[in-house]
Amino acid sequence: MNTSFSQLFYIKRRHLEKRVKVPIYLRLTVNGKRTELSISKRIDPEKWNAKTGRVRGSGMEAVALNQYLDTIRNKVNKVHQRLVEEDKPFTALDMKNLFQDKDKEVKMVLDVFDEHNRQMKKLVDKEFAIGTWKRYHTTKNHVAEFILHEYKREDFPVQDVDIKFITSFEYFMKSVKDCNHNSALKYMNNFKKIVRLAVANGWIERDPFYNYKVKFKWVDREFLSAEELQRMVDLEINWPRIAMVRDMFVFCCYTGLAYIDVKKLNLDNLVRNIDGDLWIEAKRTKTNAKFSIPLLPTALTILEKYKDHPKVLDGECVLPVLSNQKANAYLKEIGDLCGIKKNLTTHLARHTFATTVTLSNGVPIETVGKMLGHKDLRTTQHYAKIINKKVGDDMAVLKEKLAGIEIKEGSKKLRN
């Protein structure tokens, strides 16, 4: 592998006064790109030979300093030779890092990522959902592709991660991996956790994400209208597996549960409230937040329908569900049968509960957030979009109030 390399000692003239010693620096240049480092020595500028990069004279001080420079030059050459023998691409910064930390293990980005992901996998179903681990695993693969694409290397020193690396990775996710803005930022947030883990361990001196400021773009969430939801409920389906998916979807529309939470639902999660009504009480798999949901008549009808299903009788669940991938595939067929053009997914049911079933029917947003298991009301606001019908209903009430006030005021004027 052809790699041009040079090293040069030079001084930085920080003082105009004579006889004031200035620091000596070493400049390393690889393939035209350079970096520098201090060698922790100073010298009188009048004694420095810029052409040779050495100290003038034959006195004891000059001889000792030149010997020190030769020692550094030889060590740098050994670092260069080592990198050449590895037959892998390297930069001037790589040489600098190896020279300065020759007795230390250089932490690499993908190694740190792998260790984090191994630990996270052991905590799946304890502190993390399997989906969270999968996203970090995917992020690590994207970072590996980026390093190979951008730096032609199989890994990258974690201490060299800087704002340029970060912004280049974001651009790579949007351009090469074709991610939209919000998807790219989710991967960036996962990577940020790894970098800040390195900062906390002292492998990086300063957090390179400190000046990285970006915001997620607001995205309107799709949901079923009341008419579309009723079409889904009324649809006659003769195929049991497809009917099961439709019923699971409708159940989520009337409970607000995410797919994974429906899948994990068991008899212990069904409790009688003080008024005798049946409620769901559980914790969200994603956030571990507690939630309580009164079961609406449609949801109760679906549970009744499957009470004699073998899996329900065995105590595995209260509602049999297929895999999320198969469910989403069947939902597209169901959407075609119902004449619904929206992209039906299991998660769209959660949006429908928040918007069509609850908020548009006057349920306060704080109550909706509690049933959804949200810790922050802003999250509920992102899900629950106030539709025009609710705005129209609220304004109709206001019109009636205003009309009443105007009639009273008119009566007073007539009496006067």
**Amino acid identity for residue 191 in this structure:** F
> CB-based contacts of 102: which residues, under 8 Å, 6+ apart?
75, 79
C-alpha–C-alpha distance, residues 280 and 371, integer Å: 10
- Give the full edge-to-edge strand order of the sheet including 22-30: 5-11, 22-30, 33-43
CA distances from 208 to 77, 142, 188, 201 (A): 30, 19, 12, 14
Q: Retrieve residue 117's tokens.
A: 């992901």
Packing angle between helix 163-175 and helix 130-151, nearest 10 degrees?
100
* pLDDT mean by block of 10 residues, the chain; 416 residues: 85 66 90 89 88 90 90 90 85 85 73 95 85 93 95 89 94 95 94 94 88 81 91 93 95 93 92 89 84 93 93 90 92 93 91 90 88 81 63 75 64 52
Q: Give phi and psi for 218, each to the nearest 5.
A: -70, 130
Q: What is the pLDDT of residue 103?
A: 47
* DSSP code of residue 124: B
Nearest partner of 286 among 121, 116, 118, 130, judged by Cα: 130
C-alpha–C-alpha distance, residues 269 and 273, integer Å: 12
C-alpha–C-alpha distance, residues 201 and 195, integer Å: 10
C-alpha–C-alpha distance, residues 251 and 85, integer Å: 63
Cα 113 off chain centre by: 14
Parse the chain into domains and list their residue ranges. 5-100, 109-200, 233-385, 388-416
Q: Give phi and psi for 328, each to the nearest 5.
A: -65, -35
The H-or-E segment that residue 119 falls in is helix 109-122
Q: At the fourth CATH level, which superfamily is domain 233-385?
A: Intergrase catalytic core (1.10.443.10)
Contact between 62 and 47 (Cβ < 8 Å): yes
Report how many helices (DSSP H) and strands (DSSP E) the chain contains, helices first.
Answer: 16, 8
Contact between 156 and 164 (Cβ < 8 Å): no
Alpha helices for 123-239 (secondary structure H): 130-151, 163-175, 181-200, 226-234
CA distances from 103 to 98, 106, 179 (A): 9, 9, 41
Angle at 33 between CA 89 and CA 71, to 5 degrees: 80
Q: What is the pLDDT of residue 408?
A: 55
Q: Retrieve residue 398's tokens.
A: 């206001």
Contact between 304 and 298 (Cβ < 8 Å): no
C-alpha–C-alpha distance, residues 313 and 42, integer Å: 83
Nearest partner of 45 among 89, 11, 75, 79, judged by Cα: 11
The H-or-E segment that residue 216 falls in is none
Q: What is the pLDDT of residue 286?
A: 78
Contact between 3 and 84 (Cβ < 8 Å): yes
Helix (H, G, I), strand (E, B), or coil: what is residue 54?
strand
**Torsion on CA atoms 144, 149, 155, 156, rounded to nearest 10:** -110
C-alpha–C-alpha distance, residues 132 and 139, integer Å: 11
Query: Residue 133 CB: number of other CB atoms within 10 A?
Result: 18
> CB-based contacts of 99: which residues, under 8 Å, 6+ apart?
37, 75, 76, 79
**How much of the chain exceeds pLDDT 90, in percent?**
50
> Tokens 């990198």 map to which residue?
83
The H-or-E segment that residue 281 falls in is strand 278-283
